Amino acid sequence: MRAASIWVVVFWMAICSGWAQETNVAQTARKGHDLAAIICANCHVAAADQRFMPVLNPPAPSFETIAQRPDTNADSLQKFMTTTHRGLDHPKGMPNPYLADYQITQVVAYILSLRK
């Protein structure tokens, strides 16, 4: 009897921690969405509900498109965002957005959440 109730508690804790992790990921992605709609939306269609269309013409690839690419993953996004792709040889490349690590985590979670 006692062993059975311990298992019930263990099982319950496992369910709760899984649920907490899921809401955590959703919250992180939500923050990434808000950040992207402010910082990245000047050049990308970063979110379907962004208030203004990008000023960059033609715009950089939309985040939805980037999310669907088979070679897009947390690592590739993180690497891309921590480097500069603009230079004399590539004047239209993306400048380094200089995000803090936690902001990169949020934006990466957001972009990956757009994967269908």
Residues engaged in binding ligand HEC (CB under 6 A): 36, 39-40, 42-44, 56, 60-61, 66, 77, 80-81, 85, 92-95, 97, 99, 107
CA–CA distance from 73 to each of 66, 70, 79, 83, 92 (Å)? 10, 8, 10, 16, 23
Smallest gap from residue 92 Cβ to ligand HEC (A): 6
Distance CA 90, CA 53 (A): 24
Smallest gap from residue 26 Cβ to ligand HEC (A): 18
Smallest gap from residue 17 Cβ to ligand HEC (A): 30
